[in-house]
Structure 1
Amino acid sequence: MEAAGRGLFITLEGGDGVGKSTQAALLEEWLTSRGRRVVRTREPGGTEAGVEIREIVLHHRGDIAPRAEALLYAADRAHHVATLVRPALDRGDIVLQDRYIDSSVAYQGAGRVLDPVEVRDLSLWAAEGLLPDLTILLDLDETTARARLDGARTRYDRLEAERSDFHARVRAAYLELAAAEPERFLVVDASRPVDEIAAEIRARLDDRV
């Protein structure tokens, strides 16, 4: 598989409510303070086309067939990588992204009970083989994560609203992915204080930026 080019490609993964947005903001601030140009983005929704796809997959009323859902995420990813991520990496920027291929494997593969290998292969085809240099997995049990969401949200998207067994499968899938690629993943206990988590992430990146 192809790794990132002259820049650095960092993704944040984990279930809903684990604190990805908080850590992304802190990491962006730290990287910028070190003189690095940072492109912060997300999937789905990192481009204008992606915003439209995000509305369909997360807020569409009624069911979406699991394979159709996986294909919509892959379509977003293909456009996002081609028009935003690769150009930024080619410029030497750091791309800091909320969710990527591992989310599809966890949510559409394990969560929707599709074949995770097929989902991963579809995503890799869409992204032309691009894998992150580092994937930060914020790990938190689904009950605690749900409690955090309940305290912060008034509107839940289609995935956030799924039952606890769905989110348990998602978490297990993430941990399996991390165990299979320990050189790419940094698994962080997301129940710890925010500043401790941020310090652990910075320590992993200190000699790379």
Structure 2
Amino acid sequence: MNINDFYTTRKNVFDKLQSSNTATKILMSLLMACFTGVMAQVVIPLPWTPVPITAQTFAVLAAGLILGKRYGALSQILYIVIGILFVPWFGEMTGGLDIVLGSTCGYFLGFIIASYFIGSITEKYAGSRKFKRAIAVIGVANFALIYIPGLAGLALWNYLTYGTMLSISSLLFMGLVPFIFGDIVKILGLGAVSKVFLPKE
């Protein structure tokens, strides 16, 4: 297969995915929710924060990139709802409403927002799927749309649990700084996925 055949196949697959019926898209959202649950089991606990390092944000960001805004966001809604009601697939095989309302509550909300944002940009602007633009879009989604509600939720949880407000430096050290390097790797990886597998026109 030459490069032109690859580009043609890539576009045909993408177009078929976009034009598939609602039932198929919901199934793909469910599969992405499962992928998120699997990636959430890649966990590195940190002794100074209740927020662990996990691989699940790779799946979260991929959801919007691959499924688009509606079904990317739906995949994360399904991930959260199924994790509350049925399957203990949050980090370290946990589940239930208490986890979603705990120290990582804001991150769960950010998952939905970030996947919707990425999908809305990459659906509307094919040029945003190019490597540099893709990492910019994914980077904004990751560091703004996941971490802003994530840090706010962590601060609120700490206040309600311990009755004290965290300083800005403590909050960042608990909920952002330890994750930066891994997030950059994930963003670059997804930029490469977009460059190779998604059409640019």
Q: Could you state the TM-score of these two structures normalised by the residue count of structure 2?
A: 0.36
Query: Relative contact order, CA 8 A, sep 6+: which one is greater?
Result: 1
Bigger Rg, structure 1 or 2: 2
- Higher share of residues assigned strand: 1
Q: Could you state the TM-score of these two structures normalised by the residue count of structure 1?
A: 0.35
- Higher share of residues assigned helix: 2
